[in-house]
Amino acid sequence: MLINEIYEYHGYDFSGYSHASFKRRIDRLYQLDGFKNFPDFLSRIRIDSDYFNRMVEEITVNVTEMFRDPLFYKVLRTEILPVLATKPFLRIWHAGCSTGEEVYSMAILLKEANLLHKSLMYATDLNPSVLDTARKGVFPIRMMKQYSENYIASGGKNDFSHYYTAHYGFAKFPEELSAKMVFSQHNLVSDRSFNEFDLILCRNVLIYFDKDLQDKALKLFDDSLARLGYIALGTKETLKFSDLQKKYEQHNRDKIWKKIKE
Amino acid sequence: MEKDKRINGCKLLILGGSAGSLEVLIKILPHLTVLSGYAMVIVLHRKGSEDNTLEELIAIKTTVPVVEVEDKTPLVPGHIYVAPSDYHLLFEKNDTISLDTSEKVNYSRPSIDVSFETAADIYGASLVAILLSGANADGTKGLISVKNAGGTVIIQDPVSAEVSFMPGNALDNMKPDFVADVKKILELILSINID
């Protein structure tokens, strides 16, 4: 019922979200905001568009970090980027980029591989407020110790603190990195392919979708990926249960697949 | 409090635990050969890391096949599934597991409450939930949901637990079907779906 109302009033379709997870997010918000009964909650969502925006922010999960799963980044660094390096131009899509930590991580990898000058990173998310954060390239300084460890575990050789300037509790990443990023709102449920890419990263996003919606999103990625391009998923996500599997070859046991057939 | 020592109609058994629970599993697992008609899911608090040490350890202790859990992995009776580190493990209507990286619950991801609660929604009376040794309050709310949905609740006797807080906290807040030491927990598991 809630899902129908949201669709009817705001045009967002959450019907393909994993049911158990979505229900928990809604219950959490309902309790967090102290609603006493469900009709109140529903009518607030229906008529108060600021509140609706809050709901979208709260029910979408925005847990992320720089160089999340460092071994994944190590494989990108040592095995995938060297293959892509032969291309004249590199287009990368971060689908569901949240607050952008992984996009900046990618920019650092590209810079170290001397590929940044010929790369463009498209970073999209459903949620406009996380994109604002991502555009700024400003993250809490208290996270930098963890990120620095992740960076080193990913095979980084530099002093990570050279990549940002510390300012009032925040770490600001330079224009040099963000100049190669394009941020825009994109809904994997309803929007279409908008370019052709050599690498698509969509990590820990599909887990929030049910099987049918996952298939739909994977089809969208397939339509947006050049032949011999790569798709990268989260550590517990897989193409194994999808029809796409036949056209793709997994890179060892990593969560990276290469498109081998059109 | 105690009901008949047989448990029938079980489709899913979940074992949840934290500090001191791995030792319990290591004692129980070698005695299991066949899980008749039900799947077993193990949700332990574990360090956030990418390795599969826990899965491997469990796999060498039992002849029951252990399946690596990925998002949307189907639950098949007769198999053991282990909640991966740094993800909550949830249950969906079509007998699949979904994963989620949302906020920690009770300082934990995976959280035992999350698995118990979502399993209670789907499996109701055909769920058996066991809460083992541990040092935090995770699991209690989940057991209450399991009970309210008609499932069977077993709590490790805090006296027998290496760390008694977790089962003790659950006992303070709800009435389980069984309070059991390790030996009795094993007997109960072996009695599942054996008429």
pLDDT band for position A70 (cuts 50, 70, 90): very high
* pTM attached to this predicted model: 0.92
Is pLDDT at A254 greater than 80 in this prediction? yes
Assess A60–B contact: CB distance below 8 Å, yes or no. Answer: no
pLDDT band for position B5 (cuts 50, 70, 90): low
Residue B34 lies in a domain: yes
Q: Which CATH number goes with the domain that contains B175?
A: 3.40.50.180
Q: Check CB contact under 8 Å for B101 and A235.
A: no
Q: State the pLDDT at residue B1.
A: 43
Is pLDDT at A57 greater than 60 in this prediction? yes
- Closest to A3 measured CA to CA, from A20, A28, A23, A21: A23
- Average pLDDT score, chain B: 94
Q: State the pLDDT at residue A262.
A: 84
Q: State the pLDDT at residue B3.
A: 52
Residues of B in contact with A238 (CB under 8 A): 70-71
Is pLDDT at B195 greater than 90 in this prediction? no
Q: How far is CA B15 from CA A207, A210, B46, B98, in A?
A: 23, 25, 14, 17
**How many independent structural domains does chain B possess?**
1
Q: Closest CB to B98: pick one of A18, A69, A71.
A: A18
Marked catalytic residue, from B85, B88, B115, B138: B138
Residues of A in contact with B67 (CB under 8 A): none
Show which of residues 61-90 on chain A sit within 8 Å of chain B, judged by CB atoms. 61, 63, 69, 71
Tens digit of each residue's pLDDT (9 = 90 or more) over A186-205: 999 999 999 999 999 999 99
Q: Which CATH superfamily is domain A70-259 in?
A: Vaccinia Virus protein VP39 (3.40.50.150)
Residue B54 lies in a domain: yes
Question: B52 is in which domain, residue-wise?
Answer: 12-122+134-190
Residue B7 lies in a domain: no
Tens digit of each residue's pLDDT (9 = 90 or more) over B25-77: 999 999 999 999 999 999 999 876 657 889 999 999 999 999 989 999 999 99
Residue B52 lies in a domain: yes
Active site residue B172: no
Assess B123–A contact: CB distance below 8 Å, yes or no. Answer: no
Tens digit of each residue's pLDDT (9 = 90 or more) over B95-140: 999 999 999 999 999 999 999 999 999 999 999 999 999 999 999 9
The whole-angstrom separation of Cα A248 and Cα B9 is: 41
Domain positions in chain A: 2-59, 70-259
Residue B61 sits at the vertex; the CA angle it makes with B112 and B69, to the nearest 5 degrees, is: 45
Is pLDDT at B2 greater than 80 in this prediction? no
Residue B57: CB atoms within 10 A of its CB come to 15
Task: Express as a percent the part of chain A with pLDDT over 70.
Answer: 100
